[in-house]
Amino acid sequence: MHIPDGYISPATALAYWGGILPFWYIASQRLRRLLVGRTVPALALFSAFVFVVMMFNVPVPGGTTAHAVGSVLAAIVLGPWAAIVATSVALIVQALFFGDGGILAIGANCFILGVAMPLAGYGIYRLLAGSSPLESRRRVIAAAAAGYFGINVAALLVGLTLGVQPLLWSENGRALYSPYGLEVAVPAMLIPHLTVAGLAEGIVTAAGLTLVHRFYPEVLGSVPSQGPTAARQRSLILLITAVLVLLTPLGLVASGAAWGEWSAEELEQLVGYVPSGLARWEGWWRAPLPDYSLPWMPESASFSEQALAYVLSAIIGIGLVSALIFGLRLLLQPRSPEDRSAASAR
């Protein structure tokens, strides 16, 4: 689901940057009054969750892999504007430090996974949940449907984005960027997500909402737990986070790259050539920990070595997204008397 550099033209990348910037601006203004008190740790926690959950690749029809995202759960719990920030921060850290998604394509990835997906999923959740009680089963079912719908909207957008590339940019009959047209790209993205990845996203969203309601109810507006009970709940949240980090090597079990995320060498084997635009932009940015591995690790590294690198990458990633969220708090701290008054009231 992460579009690498070279698979979309610079013009397409620029258009997505133009699309995401207004959402980032509005989200920053909406969050100016919220980035205080308990909201900051919650935002950091969900940004870390989105980062980690995208490391769990699962095999899907077609011989490729896919993963859940978690941005719809963030929208349900924190609100859609906070979800845009949490997901964007996770995607930017993944691209810059781990080479998961392109740098030029950050605008596209953030728009698709950080805006379109959570907004679409949140709309479905509000429609299905209605005014039902926070703890009702109807809300859990609505969350599952929202996660399923949201990730399929994202898959469709990725398929359309990649599929139009050879229609718009080609040379001597060869595509300059992604070589597969709409007739291949759209079903190649939708079928795995309609059958497997969408179900995984639905389960993650429903289970996540249930856990948040049980262990972090104040984020949902429920009456917060007090005293020793609250301390135990915080410990459980930390324990769940640690378990997720330790389980990230499971993403290594699924072999093969996700559709549309092949290296130039892999793509050449598939279509017989490397598109010139892809060859130009594919490797211009060298991430310090590419593919969640260590720079000195050989290609023949054992599974246990790769698993250790995955766990270390997850820990580093959580630290980076948390640092960025707390940095945003300093940058967006309330300035006007009205904002400071609203913030202090929380």
CB 96 within 8 A of CB 83: no
**CATH number assigned to the domain comprising residue 113:** 1.10.1760.20
Question: By 3-state DSSP, what share of the chain in percent is helix, strand and coil, each rounded to 5?
Answer: 70, 5, 30
Phi-psi region of 201 (alpha: psi -120 to 50; beta: other; left: phi over 0): alpha
- Is the confidence at residue 346, as pLDDT, over 50? no
pTM of the model as a whole: 0.91
- Is the confidence at residue 231, as pLDDT, over 80? no
- Is the confidence at residue 31, as pLDDT, over 90? no
Q: What is the mean pLDDT of residues 215-243?
A: 72
Which residues lie across from 60 on neighbouring strands?
Answer: 64
pLDDT above 90 coverage of the chain, percent: 59
**pLDDT, tens digit, for every residue of 262-310?**
989 999 999 999 999 999 998 889 899 998 988 888 878 888 989 999 9
In a domain, 315, yes or no: yes
pLDDT value at residue 336: 62
What is the extent of the structural domain holding 161?
10-345
In a domain, 31, yes or no: yes
Compute CA distances 65 → 55, 60, 73, 203, whole Å.
11, 5, 21, 17
pLDDT value at residue 342: 55
In a domain, 2, yes or no: no
pLDDT value at residue 121: 97
Which range is least confidently modeled, 56-70, 73-87, 219-233? 219-233
Contacts of 297 (CB under 8 A, 6+ apart): 305, 306, 309
CB 278 within 8 A of CB 267: yes
- pLDDT band, residue 321 (cuts 50/70/90): very high
CB 55 within 8 A of CB 247: no
CA neighbor of 314 nearest in space, from 241, 205, 236? 241
- pLDDT band, residue 233 (cuts 50/70/90): low
- Is the confidence at residue 228, as pLDDT, over 70? no
Residue 62 and residue 60: Cα distance in Å, rounded? 6
pLDDT above 70 coverage of the chain, percent: 90
pLDDT value at residue 219: 74
In a domain, 5, yes or no: no
In a domain, 337, yes or no: yes
CB 91 within 8 A of CB 108: no
CA neighbor of 101 nearest in space, from 69, 73, 60? 69
Residue 159 and residue 3: Cα distance in Å, rounded? 10
- Is the confidence at residue 108, as pLDDT, over 50? yes
CB 87 within 8 A of CB 71: yes
In a domain, 102, yes or no: yes
pLDDT value at residue 153: 97
- pLDDT band, residue 213 (cuts 50/70/90): confident
Q: What is the mean pLDDT of residues 58-74?
A: 87
In a domain, 204, yes or no: yes
Q: What is the mean pLDDT of the chain?
A: 88
Three-state DSSP class for 64? strand
In a domain, 4, yes or no: no
- Is the confidence at residue 220, as pLDDT, over 80? no
- Is the confidence at residue 58, as pLDDT, over 90? no
Which range is least confidently modeled, 15-19, 75-79, 163-167, 221-225? 221-225
pLDDT value at residue 142: 97
User: Number of structural domains, the chain?
Assistant: 1
- Between 117 and 339, the more confident residue is 117
**pLDDT, tens digit, for every residue of 81-91?**
999 999 999 99
Q: What is the mean pLDDT of residues 164-176?
A: 93
* Per-residue buried b or exposed e for 234-247, using 16+ beta carbons within 10 Å of the residue's own CB: eeebeeebeebbee
Question: In this structure, what token pair is assigned to residue 103?
Answer: 């740098």
- Is the confidence at residue 101, as pLDDT, over 50? yes
